[in-house]
């Protein structure tokens, strides 16, 4: 019964961390300016003509957007790692407490703890992979 409650707490902490990471990404993409068809045609006409000083300002906006996305990805990975670290700490503390109360169940408790830690770490690695993909794809 206690293991089920502990597992529910770990899942809740992990879900909260992933939700926070998604909120950070959503905020980064909300700052993105939609480009109208007229603006796209003007930009294409400018690129076909000679380079003028106003074109340099447009690349600075693109750099700002990439910087914002990279910052959001870093924050998302940090939040996911923080949530995972808290969940792992709670799981290890509770398993050590359980082993202290029932030393004869040491192997069963330890194997269950390791399985839970693997699942938590997998979610953190997924957050890292998604962040890296967002940085390099967008």
Topology of domain 2-137 in CATH is F1FO ATP Synthase (1.20.20)
Residue 59 · residue 46 · CB < 8 Å: no
Q: Is the pLDDT of residue 138 over 90?
A: no
The reported pLDDT for the residue numbered 107 is 92
Q: Is the pLDDT of residue 128 over 60?
A: yes
Of 2-6, 30-34, 100-104, 119-123, least confident by mean pLDDT is 30-34
Which tens digit of pLDDT belongs to each residue from 71-127? 888 888 888 888 888 889 999 999 999 999 999 999 999 999 999 999 999 988 998
Residue 72 · residue 28 · CB < 8 Å: yes
More confident residue, 122 or 42: 122
The reported pLDDT for the residue numbered 130 is 87
Tell me how far CA of residue 122 lies from CA of 41, 64, 109, 117, in angstroms. Answer: 45, 31, 20, 8
pTM (two decimals): 0.55
Structural domain boundaries of the chain? 2-137
């Amino acid at each position: 019964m206690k293991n089920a409650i502990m597992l529910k707490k770990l899942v809740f902490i992990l879900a909260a961390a992933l939700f926070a990471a998604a909120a950070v990404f959503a905020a980064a993409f909300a700052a993105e300016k939609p480009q109208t068809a007229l603006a796209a045609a003007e930009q294409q006409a400018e690129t076909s003509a000679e380079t003028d000083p106003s074109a340099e300002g447009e690349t600075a906006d693109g750099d700002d957007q990439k910087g914002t996305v990279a910052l959001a990805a870093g924050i998302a990975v940090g939040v996911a790692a923080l949530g995972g670290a808290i969940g792992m700490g709670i799981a290890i503390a509770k398993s050590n407490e359980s082993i202290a109360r029932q030393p004869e169940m040491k192997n069963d408790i330890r194997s269950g703890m390791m399985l839970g830690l693997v699942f938590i770490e997998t979610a953190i690695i997924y957050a890292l992979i998604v962040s890296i993909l967002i940085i390099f794809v967008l």
